[in-house]
Structure 1
C-alpha cells in the first residue's frame, strides 16, 4: 500500500505524461482540443482515472473519447516508460463535468443578478404605506412660556 504523498506524485506525473503524449505524439485528426484536468490514482497504484475536458461541441467530445480509447494502450506504454515504477497503472479516461458545472453556476449567478436588479427597480418605485417615520416621538417642550401659566 503506497502512501498518499507518493500516490499524489505519481498522479501528477501521469497527468503531465498523458498531456505530453496527446499534444506531441497523437496525430489523429479526430482528437479535439483536449485538456487533462486531473488524475486520480488508487492507493495501490494499480489504476489511474484520467479526467479530461474537450473544447468544442458534442461531436468533438465523442470523437476525442474514441481516440482516447483507441490510443489507451500506447498512452499506458508511454506512461510506464516515463514513470519508471515496477507496475504501470491501467488508465481509464473519464470526461470531466467541470465545464457543465461551471456553466450551471454561471447561469445561477446570472439569474440571481437579474432578480437583484428587479428588486432594486421595485424598491426605487416603492412608497411607504403610512408615514415616512411611523414611530411616535415625545412631545418637544416649548421654549416660550405660556401666558396662562404667568397669570397664575
Structure 2
C-alpha cells in the first residue's frame, strides 16, 4: 500500500524555504507512530531539511544528483524507482516534498493528512486532490491549545 502523508494548510501550503510553517507536536507524534518501521520516500530537499535521518525508517531519496549518496539511504532517480525499491507487501509512506506529492497522488492508495486550520504564505504547496476519488475513513479534530498554535484535523482517506 502506498500512503501519502502530509500536514497541509487550508490553502494547501506545505512549507517555505525548506521548512515547515508550524510546530504541532501531536502531528509529529502521529507521523512518527505511522511511519516507524516502514520505508519512507522523499525528495532530496525534504531529506536535507531533517537534522539527521529519521530513526527506525528506511529512507528512499529521489534525486537527480549523480553523486548523491547519504549514508544508510537508498537513492534513486524517479518515483517509479523509489516504489520499486520498497517491499510490495508493506505500507510505504511518501513524505514529500511538493513535487514528489504531485507525482504520487495518482499512484497512492491512501492519504493520511493533517489539515492545519490556517492559511500561510509558502513556496511549496500540496497538490489539489479530487476528493470524489477518495473516501474519508477517519477524522479527528484537535483544537488550538498551549502546545499547538493552530487547530488541526487528522484525516485518513482511502481510494474509492
TM-score (norm 2): 0.22
- The one of the two structures with greater contact order (alpha-carbon pairs below 8 A, sep at least 6) is 2
Q: Which has the higher strand share?
A: 2
- State the structure with more CA Rg: 1
Q: Which has the higher helix share?
A: 1
